Amino acid sequence: MKDKVILAYSGGLDTTAIIPWLKENYDYDVVCVCADVGQGNEIDGLEERAKLSGAEKLYIENLTDEFVDDYVIPCVKANAVYENKYLLGTSMARPVIAKRLVEIARKEGAVAICHGATGKGNDQVRFELTIKALAPDLKIIAPWRCNDTWKMDSREAEIEYVHAHGIELPFSTDSSYSRDRNLWHISHEGLELEDPANEPNYDHLLVLGVSPEKAPEEGEYITLSFEKGAPVALNGEKMKASKIIEKLNELGGKHGIGIVDIVENRVVGMKSRGVYETPGGTILMEAHTQLEELILDRDTLAYKKNIGDKFADVVYEGKWFTPLREALQAFVEATQQQVTGEVKMKLYKGNIIKAGTTSPYSLYNESIASFTTGELYDHHDAEGFINLFGLSLKVRAMKEAELKKNN
């Protein structure tokens, strides 16, 4: 009996070419695993394609709810945003996929896991750190780094290779954007985006929605409900988090929400330019942020921002299965115990406009905050506070004046 290898399989040209390549160079039986993390109809027809390509078996694993509940929602609670713009769509999905690859490797008694990530990107890091954390004994095969045996450097070369191995599948030689899609987002790289001087061709590029210019002239109000930092209802209708994101994607896409053009710093050291569509995620993150500003005290809110930035770095770098991520998440969870309430927003031509926030745990006190004098606040108290708060500034200015006088 041959040894088995688990292949992270998308059904695209790269991973289709990898199947005969693995059989030819390692003499493994290839077991393909396609993870469904909400990418839609991209998984249609995969079983037939995998078997035509020489795979022994194909697993199609529905991980959408696990992805949302165990990876997306913790990032929402943390307000984790990488480099102020990127909502971590691909970064969050890789650990849940790699975890399932390990689980199936154990089930099948496989000796290795193979992925099709290139040697220039972040995904190789994310996949392999997860595998090393969960199954350090398993061999990892990354064809794009196997210079001695992986000779294909273009789509044309890959198509020629699969045809030479009797795989007659309808792959196009046309260049297109390099995309990654899941329930949270879709990313676009390549073509005109490779030059930061070029404006994205949004008419050609966008998949989940329209540009703000092409959004409806009339805005739309929505209300999101949260319990302990997690979304539980949209417009008063209770539903699971994945369904909320799905519906928010439709609403956000319709109104041109969540389109980001970013040059980001990859883990491997280079800068990369991409366009991300995250319509539902952008709305959800904004609503959560608005609710927190009403509920969390000043010190917790300020410190949590630092934690959120670090959380984003950890997730982006593929360090999900680490003590640091667990510790950061434990802090975040402690801050979310009273993040409960409703957020009303207006969606209009790429904008999310605040339209009212309520919570039983709100720290906003109208009696204190009002410009009219209330019983809970004495204006004269501010004088002593300012004297103490500014004492170090006053002492420093006095010393500088003394030194200047003596000179």
| Catalytic residue from among 10, 36, 49, 94 | 94
Distance separating alpha carbons of residues 255 and 350, to the nearest angstrom = 6
What is the spatial distance between Cα 170 and Cα 13, in angstroms, rounded to a whole number?
A: 10
- Whether 304 is in a domain gets the answer no
What residue numbers bound the domain in which 380 lies?
372-406
Residue owning tokens 């409900």 = 225
Domain match, 382 and 351 both: no
Residues 220 and 89 in one domain: no
Determine contact, residues 208/295, Cβ cutoff 8 Å: no
Averaged over successive runs of 10 residues, the pLDDT of the chain (407 residues) comes to 96 94 96 95 85 96 98 98 98 98 98 96 97 98 96 89 88 80 96 96 96 98 98 98 98 98 97 98 98 98 98 98 98 98 98 98 87 74 94 96 92
Q: Given this model, what pLDDT does residue 154 score? A: 85
Residue 77 located in a structural domain:
yes
Quick one: 80 and 202 in the same domain?
no
Which residue, 164, 190, 211, sits at the end of a domain?
164
Residues 239 and 353 in one domain: yes
CB 180 within 8 A of CB 166: no
8: closest CA among 77, 97, 118, 107?
Answer: 97
- The count of domains in the chain is 3
Catalytic residue among 14, 69, 70, 313: 14
123 and 14 both lie in a single domain: yes
Residue 314 lies in a domain: no
**Which string of DSSP letters, residue by residue, matches 84-148?**
TTB--HHHHHHHHHHHHHHHHHHHHT-SEEE----TTSSHHHHHHHHHHHH-TTSEEE-GGG-TT
Q: What is the pLDDT of residue 373?
A: 60
Whole-number pLDDT of residue 172: 74
119-124 long-range Cβ contacts below 8 angstroms, 24+ apart: 119/144, 119/145, 120/266, 120/268, 120/270, 121/266, 121/268, 121/272, 122/90, 122/91, 122/266, 122/267, 122/268, 122/316, 122/317, 122/318, 123/90, 123/94
Q: Verify that 138 and 213 share a domain, yes or no.
A: no
For residue 223, the SS3 value is strand
**Residues 136, 209: one domain?**
no
Query: Based on the domain organization, do 140 and 231 belong to the same domain?
Result: no
Alpha carbon separation from 275 to 19, 140, 269 (Å, rounded): 30, 30, 19
123 is an active site residue: yes
Residue 64 lies in a domain: yes
* pLDDT at residue 170 in the model: 74
Q: Which amino acid is at 5?
A: V
Residues 234 and 268 in one domain: yes
The residue type of 122 is: N
Domain with residue 139: its CATH number is 3.40.50.620
- pTM of this structure: 0.94
Helix H or strand E encompassing 352: strand 351-358
Name the catalytic one among 29, 36, 123, 180: 123
> Are 16 and 53 within 8 A, CB to CB?
yes
The residues, any chain, with a CB within 8 Å of residue 141's CB and separated by 6 or more, are 5, 22, 26, 112, 113, 114, 115
What is the structure's pLDDT at 171? 74
| Greatest Cα-to-Cα distance within the chain, rounded to the nearest angstrom | 92
Distance CA 231, CA 248 (A): 11
- Please tell me which residue in 65, 155, 178, 313 is annotated as part of the active site: 178
User: What secondary structure letter does DSSP report for 257?
Assistant: -
Task: Assign residue 213 the CATH number of its domain.
Answer: 3.90.1260.10
Pair (208, 349) in one structural domain:
yes
Q: Is residue 311 part of a domain?
A: no
Both 21 and 153 in one domain: the answer is: yes
- Same domain? 14 vs 160: yes
Question: Is residue 53, in this structure, part of any structural domain at all?
Answer: yes
